Amino acid sequence: MGITKNHIFDEYQNETANITKVLGHPARIAIIQHISQHEYCNCNDLVEATGLAQPTVSQHLSEIKKIHLLTQKHQGKNIFYAIDLDVLNQYRRKINDFFVKIQVNCQK
């Protein structure tokens, strides 16, 4: 695997790429959609909903957590996940802003 050259890009470019990278897998999209419809799901709920193996769901949750899109609460040994709406709105604005700027640039 090649060396990443993130240092040559600005913070906006790197952050936008990180967000879209996490969203770039259909299993993660399915997990995020399920959590949004069933607040505070645990890993077992997501295994049942997606049909993926528990280690696979855990790995995808780990990737989603890297961008802080999920909040968690602990109940005994279980961890329950919900969407962090503040972060969601921040990312929604960032992605929308990206596409709007590209569209404006194309129309010049």
pLDDT tens profile 66-97: 999 999 999 999 999 999 999 999 999 999 99
pLDDT tens profile 23-50: 999 999 999 999 999 979 999 999 999 9
For 68: left if phi > 0, alpha if psi spans -120 to 50, otherwise beta; the answer is left
Q: Does any domain span residue 100?
A: yes
**In whole angstroms, what is the distance from residue 69 CA to residue 63 CA?**
10
Instruction: Find the mean pLDDT for residues 8-23.
Output: 94
Q: Does any domain span residue 58?
A: yes
Structural domains in the chain (count):
1
Q: Can you give the CATH number for the domain in which 53 is found?
A: 1.10.10.10
